[in-house]
Amino acid sequence: MFPKHLFLLIFLLDCQVRNFSPRTIQSYKSNLKYFLSQHSIDLTPEVLKDFLVHIRGKKHYSPSTVENYFAVLSSFFDWLEWEGVIEKNIVPQFRKRYLRYYKEQRHEERQLISLEQMRA
């Protein structure tokens, strides 16, 4: 098996082939380097829980940043599954169970205004 940094480089090349923007690729690279500096590609729910607690509690990342990290992890581990490196990507199930989407936390109803109100 390749070292984890090699998996990262090959994944980033795959992102280029899939025509991701340079900014997206840079963001993926940054997030994955941070995760892989602390963890291997042998993923368990406990590893994901520890990482979630770390970036929420110790790093105090915003809900949108936390969601971005887990979206990147999901994409990376989906690619590892596609390549046959891992059997199953567990990140989507983890996200469904442990992450509340920051946009869903708003409980206010939207109001439509009339044309007259808009003119005023």
- Reported as half-sphere exposure (CB side, CA atoms, 13 A), residue 75 has a value of 20
pLDDT in tens, 37-85: 999 999 999 999 999 999 999 999 999 999 999 999 999 999 999 999 9
Q: Could you give all domains of the chain from N- to C-terminal order, each with its CATH number?
A: 4-102 (1.10.150)
Is pLDDT of 107 > 90? no
Q: How far apart are CA 85 and CA 49, in angstroms?
A: 22
pLDDT of residue 28: 97
Q: How far apart are CA 71 and CA 66, in angstroms?
A: 9
Calculate mean pLDDT across residues 2-26: 94
Sign of the Cα torsion 113, 115, 117, 120 reads positive
How wide is the angle at C-alpha 96 spanned by C-alphas 21 and 88, nearest 5°? 75
Instruction: Note the pLDDT of residue 106.
Output: 53
Taking the C-alpha atoms of residue 84 and residue 108, their distance in angstroms, rounded to an integer, is 44
Which SS3 state, helix, strand or coil, does residue 92 take?
A: helix
Output the pLDDT for position 112. 77
